[in-house]
Structure formats: structure tokens, C-alpha cells
Amino acid sequence: MTPSVVRVFHVITQLELGGAQANTLYTVTHLDRARFEPVLVAGVGGILAEEARDSGVPCRFLPELVRPISPARDVRAYLALKRLFARERPAIVHTHSSKAGILGRLAAAGAAVPIRIHSIHGWGFHPEQPAPLRALLVAAERLAARRTTAFISVSEANVKQGESLGILDRRRARVVHSGIRLGEFSPRPAGTGSGDVVIGMVACFKPQKAPIDFVEVAARVLAAEPGARFVLAGDGELREAIESRIREKGIGGRVTLLGWRRDVPALMRTFDILLHTSRWEGLPRVFAEAMATAIPVVATRVDGAPEAIEEGVNGRLFEPGDVAGMARAVLDLVRDAPLRRRMGRAGLERAGGWDIDEMVREQERIYDDILRAAAAEGAPVPR
């Protein structure tokens, strides 16, 4: 294999503010340019779009690529992706998120792109969907999987789920946890803080994250400990519903909505406890951010959560929707500062395995392994 630069197209549905999007943008901006030439492909819009344009990485924004399922528009997105790949001839198409993952891999196969990789940041199907829709999405993932060279999953749980549903063969899957910039996170210095115990959550306000459950937990905790404070950082479609529930519970003076925040390391240092109420996940990197800040986590036991949070060691895990259980755990932590410190230290000891630069290097090693295998088989790989 002659040494040359390999073109890698990363495809994601939209560049909204989220872990999958932030990690994808970090990956394309930090790949080794001596070996890889990245191009970012996404739908139009999203908070991170301007950052992507300013990154120096070539971007291709496709108006046809949208998040909602829309058969006519999805066909147009598939054709636009196929034309793009046929024209620009990447050696690798690496997809992220469900919509871009399915359409991107099918289009890459149709354009004869030799290597097609998909990152699983959590599956697009989940138990709360109507059964016919869930079955359709599983079938679409199976179809795309037959055209996939390799999978990268943010959690072992997602690999097991994909295998159990007949979507993937684990021999073609590698687990690479979502990374964070460890150097930006650190514990809050002793003796600083507001004096109140602050319970925070950083998430999009959408059904997946169940922010209404966060408000319900807050109401139960505040009924017993009115001096606690709750903070929600994020925004989205459920904002009005959240505000309405806060008013109904009469807790507006102790629950603050911050909107979108980009200063997460500084924000995390204002928290004493991270509360994460998701109904389904891949493995949110906010867990790693909390661990690196030495704060305990109370969360739902979904998908890859137990791969980061060990029950009773650096946090507590509950079934999705178990508002009462999460409230009891938060109350225990609010009332027990030594317990918070002990769990926080345990999390900090685990945080080193979540370095975002090592995440990028591991993806490069996967590319290299696949390229070497292709060369050994005599397959031509365009560069």
C-alpha cells in the first residue's frame, strides 16, 4: 500500500448541540492530516454548523437531509448523497446518527465507496415507539448493515442489542466510548460554591431525555429539602412543557432553565450532583464530564449507562421513569456531603479512560486496520 492521504467523509444528519455531533466535529478537525483528508457532510442548520464552517474542514451541507422521516425527501437525500460520493470519490464513508447512517451507507454502497463505517451513538429505535415504526427502523438498520464494512459503538450495550436483533455481527464491531476534553474538566476547588446543593442536568429538551422527569424529581426533593437548587441547561421542543410543569409544582424559585450553554466545564463545576433522566441513550458523554469534575451521578439504567456508572460507587442507577427512586437517591446525596465526595472521587478515578484525543486515535487505528485488510486482499482503495 503506497503512502498517501485517504479521503474520509463523515456524514451526520444535523449539527445540533449534542454529544454525537460534538464528537463528530472534533474527530474531523483532529484526524491526522498527514494520513487522512476529512470532509464533513450534514443537513442544513444546527447550532454547530457555523463552528463547522469555521473549522477549516471542507463541509457539504445538503438541504435534503432532515431529521424527521419523510419518504419523498429521504429519497432525495439518498440521491444527493450518492451523487456527492460518486463525484468526490471518498475511500471511506463514516456515518453517524440513524437517518444519516441508513441513507449514507446505502448511498455509499450505491456509489461504490469501498469502505463504509457506521458509528452507533444509540439506536434510532426504542421501546416507546409504536411497534410498526420500531419494526420498520430495525428492518432499515438490517438493510444498511448488509452494506457496512465495520461498526463503531459508543457502548457495549448497543453492540449486544444490535446483535440480538440480527442487525450486526459483533466481529465487525468495536466499542469506542465518546470522549471529552479531559484537560478542560476539573473538580471544583474546596471551599467554593454557592452553599446550596445544586443538582444539574445538561441535555436537549426532547422526549429522549425526559426533562419532565427531572422536574418531577426536583419537586419531590424540594418538598423534603427546600434549600436544594435544580438547574437545567439546554433547550428544545419540550421547553414550554417544562416551564408549565415547574409552574404547576410551584418550584420556579428553585429550578432554573439556562438555555443552551457552551461553557460546560465551568457549568459542571457549579453542580454538586448530576441528574440524568433519559429514557434511552447510547452512552452520554455527560457522564464522563461529571466523573472528570468529581461529582456523583444519579441516572437511568439505559443502554451503556452501567459502563460508566457503577451502582453505589460513583453514582446510582434506576429504571427509566423511576422518579421516586431517583428522588430518594438525590435526597441521600443532598443530605450526605461525605457520600457526595466519596462518589465524586470514585468517578474521578475512572475519568481517564474517556479522553477525546484517544477516541480519535482509536478511530484512526480502525481505519488503518480496514485499509490494511483491503490491501492484503488486493482491493483497490481510492485516495
Distance between terminal CA atoms of the chain? Answer: 11
DSSP 297: E
Rounded Cα–Cα distance for residues 353 and 288 (Å):
9
**Burial, 183: exposed, middle or buried (Cβ in 10 Å; 0-12, 13-18, 19+)?**
exposed
Rounded Cα–Cα distance for residues 188 and 202 (Å):
17
Q: Render pLDDT for 263-290 as a digit per residue (tens, 0 to 9).
A: 999 999 999 999 999 999 889 899 999 9
Q: Report the predicted TM-score, pTM, of the whole model to 2 decimal places.
A: 0.91
- What is the DSSP pairing of strand 115-120 with strand 150-153? parallel
Q: Given the C-alpha cell 448497543, which residue does it identify? A: 158
Which residues of the chain are modeled with pLDDT < 50?
1-2
Q: Are 282 and 120 in contact (CB under 8 A)?
A: yes
Return the closest-CA partner of residue 229 out of 253, 259, 250, 249.
Answer: 253
Q: Residue 263 CB: number of other CB atoms within 10 A?
A: 10
Q: What is the DSSP string of 77-88?
A: HHHHHHHHHHHH
Q: Render pLDDT for 228-244 as a digit per residue (tens, 0 to 9).
A: 999 999 999 999 999 99
pLDDT of 291 reads 97
pLDDT of 192 reads 66
| Number of DSSP helices (H) and strands (E) in the chain, helices first | 13, 13
Q: Are 134 and 165 in contact (CB under 8 A)?
A: no
Q: Render pLDDT for 100-120 as a digit per residue (tens, 0 to 9).
A: 999 999 999 999 999 999 999
**Domains identified in the chain and CATH numbers:** 6-179+355-376 (3.40.50.2000), 183-353 (3.40.50.2000)
State the SS3 of 213-229. Answer: HHHHHHHHHHHHCCCCE
Torsion on CA atoms 350, 354, 355, 356, rounded to nearest 10? -170
pLDDT of 127 reads 85
pLDDT of 377 reads 79
Take residue 127 and report the three cell numbers written for it.
421501546
Length, in residues, of the chain: 383
